[in-house]
Amino acid sequence: MHIRFIYNPKSGRERSQEKVSNVIKYLFEDGHEVSMRFTKKAHDATEFAIEAEQDKVDRLVVVGGDGTVNEVVCGIQESNSKIPVMIMPGGTTNDFAIYMGLQKDDWDTYKTIVSGKIESVDCGKVAGRYFMNVGACGILTDVAHNTPVGLKTAFGRAAYVMKALTELTPENLKPIKMKIESEEVSGEYVSYMALVANSKSVGGFQKMAPLASVHDGLLDVLVVREMPISDLVTIFMKIRAGEHVKHPSVMYFKTKKISFSSLEEEVELDVDGEFFGTLPATFEVVHKAINLLV
């Protein structure tokens, strides 16, 4: 088989480099052809995924974090590719890879690439772009953008928790007056956060969207409405157990399509951990979009 690696060298640690080297060694020893593409700037991974379809490679291995995976998903969808994809988590959060159980040792990673089970999984779409994990505005957007790189390197996923705790202050909380439109929920709301998730794991929290599934043809929507800061801290502390969705000021439901628009000031949008623009935005699910090796 011809196996193409798309590798973001900036997203990982030294262990990622060692892991890639070991896996490639196993592939060579097994007689497979291996080619490499290294990303240097934004959207390189998208172009490399399109190129992989043109080159008719047999397997695509993505080494990087959620942002790199996002770009590859865009390339796969734009080229209508059905190439099976393996994700080797190399970023600091790797939410989607964690949700799919892809944190494997070197040998199991190699075996998954050559003979793993192929699952057709959903992705999301917003403003003509695709995403694998989440779109968010509000508190989570601030955390993703403002967590220092040094903190992420040192503490990994815990860095986002640490940063989030510092933002739960009256000075940092900025309620968003927004309009939500979907078949399930429509209306105007004042909220601290809104997110649309494809998987359970978001921002380092593995049960942020506790009922999410990449196989159900639906996106999970979580809206945290305005409330006293003491209640917000309580909700935050319940996220790890997935109990936050039971709070009366939290809206949680599933949908195929949903639109958000700001009724006042400009609101930034974050998609798969990267700045994406501002509201308004319409999210929809793409069912069985990606062939994933698991």
List pLDDT tens digits, range 149-167.
Answer: 677 667 766 777 777 777 7
List pLDDT tens digits, range 27-38.
Answer: 999 999 999 999
CATH for 2-116, options being 3.40.50.10330, 3.30.70.890, 3.30.930.10, 3.40.50.720: 3.40.50.10330
Which is catalytic among the residues 47, 51, 53, 274? 274
pLDDT tens over the chain, length 294 residues: 999 999 999 876 667 889 999 999 999 999 999 999 999 999 999 999 999 999 999 999 999 989 999 999 999 999 999 999 999 998 767 889 999 999 999 999 999 999 999 999 999 999 999 999 999 998 766 565 567 767 766 776 677 777 777 777 777 788 999 999 999 999 999 999 999 999 999 887 889 999 999 999 999 999 999 999 889 888 988 988 999 999 999 999 999 999 999 999 899 999 998 889 999 999 999 999 999 999
Contacts of 105 (CB under 8 A, 6+ apart): none
Our answer to whether residue 274 is catalytic in this structure is yes
- Tokens found for residue 234: 């309580």
Angstrom CA distances, 188 to 69, 70, 278, stand at 33, 30, 18
CATH for 131-286, options being 2.60.200.40, 2.30.30.280, 3.40.50.1820, 2.40.50.140: 2.60.200.40
* pTM, two decimal places: 0.91
What CA–CA distance (Å, rounded) separates 214 from 182?
Answer: 20
Helix (H) or strand (E) holding 67: helix 66-78
- Tokens found for residue 3: 């196996």
- Tokens found for residue 112: 């998954």
Beta partners for residue 59, in sequence order: 3
- Tokens found for residue 98: 């964690």
